[in-house]
Structure 1
Amino acid sequence: MRIAATVQDSIVDGPGFRFTVFVQGCGRRCPGCHNPETHDPAGGSEHPVEELVSRMLSNPLTDGLTLSGGEPFEQPEECLMLARVAHENGLNVWSYSGFTYEQLLRGTPAQQALLRELDVLVDGPFLLEQRTLSLPWRGSRNQRLISVPQSLATGQTVLLRP
């Protein structure tokens, strides 16, 4: 898996202590992006998914996995493997994406599989003109916190209210 970095015990990428994986590569290249170093798909470094799993599970205080970027849905197979192991070990799974929930519902089979494995999706591109520091876990006002299981069960987009 090509990643830019990981953060053990992040408290800004979702609730609780989180193992955050910043995937490498993002075709969106949003102006003002918080992580522009993750845009180049040839940047970062390769790591076996098993290594990331080991690091994720090394801390018994970890509450969840957050997939960030870069764009996790540009590496859906690898992210799916991490998400499944996180769930198997009682962790919740969040992902950030520049794609909207509705776009991912129509995405590739691998993207749809990753979406189904998420507890929360923070969706939508970062928009510099809508930048905010007042909303938890989001960088711009257009981004939504979506409860994926509830949305899939009801057939309607269900927003999470932190």
Structure 2
Amino acid sequence: MKVLLRTAGIINESIVDGPGIRLVVFAQGCSHNCAGCHNPHTHSYDSGELMEIDAILNAVRNNPLLDGITLSGGDPFEQAAACALLAGEVKKLGLNVITYTGYTYEQLLDLAVQREGYEELLKNTDLLIDGPFVLKEKNLLLRFRGSENQRIIDMNRTRSEGRLVLAEL
């Protein structure tokens, strides 16, 4: 079965979208519309390009330098089922997954009850950078995030300890 993901673009190797060398998938579509967003061209649900998950996985398999992938956007949770499938396959390759979202972790837990793929995407995410970009809290010195309110959550420890655990990077 062919699974499609609407993307705004892909960066084959990045060192600024999480630790290590990462393939970055920019999901197309975002309802947050944060003032000062770094990627406002990703907000529209009608733009971008439909890509097969298998094509993205082939790019991952063909680059032995990668530590993992980063799902950015837009908001990957707007296409949670397809992103969850991609993330799960990347995990099977022994790589890690970072997911950016404008939702907070707490909002995602609430939405996971009613929205397809949310729970699976959270399950297949190693680091979650959560929260909307807040222009008043913009800080260019932060690692892997744009504003002070955004958190980098260690999802593996959060799951194992049963409480929210921030990543120590």
- Whether these two folds match at TM > 0.5 is yes
**Partner secondary structure for residue 139 of structure 1:** coil
**Would you say the 8 A contact 1:16–1:62 is kept in 2?**
yes
Say yes or no: does 1:130 pair with 2:137: yes
Q: How many residue pairs are counted as aligned between the two chains? A: 162
- C-alpha distance in 1, partners of 2:162/2:19? 25
Give the CA deviation at 1:64.
0.6
Say yes or no: does 1:156 pair with 2:154: no
Give the counterpart letter for 1:51 in structure 2.
A
- C-alpha distance in 1, partners of 2:12/2:26? 11
Written as runs of structure 1 = structure 2, the 5 A alignment for 1:8-157 is 8-107=12-111, 108-157=115-164
**Partner secondary structure for residue 47 of structure 1:** strand
- Runs of 4+, deviation exceeding 2 Å: none
**Would you say the 8 A contact 2:69–2:90 is kept in 1?**
yes
What does the per-residue CA deviation read over 1:19-47, in whole Å, with 9 as the maximum and x for residues that have no partner? Answer: 10000000111010000000000011111
Of all paired residues, the percent bearing the same amino acid is 46
**What's the C-alpha RMSD, in Å, of the aligned pairs?**
0.9
**Partner secondary structure for residue 75 of structure 1:** helix
Give the CA deviation at 1:105.
1.2
**Partner secondary structure for residue 152 of structure 2:** strand
Give the counterpart letter for 2:101 in structure 1.
S
Give the CA deviation at 1:155.
2.0
TM-score, normalised relative to structure 1: 0.97
- C-alpha distance in 2, partners of 1:58/1:127? 37
Give the CA deviation at 1:160.
0.5
**Would you say the 8 A contact 1:106–1:112 is kept in 2?**
no
Q: Which runs of 5+ in 2 are unaligned?
A: none
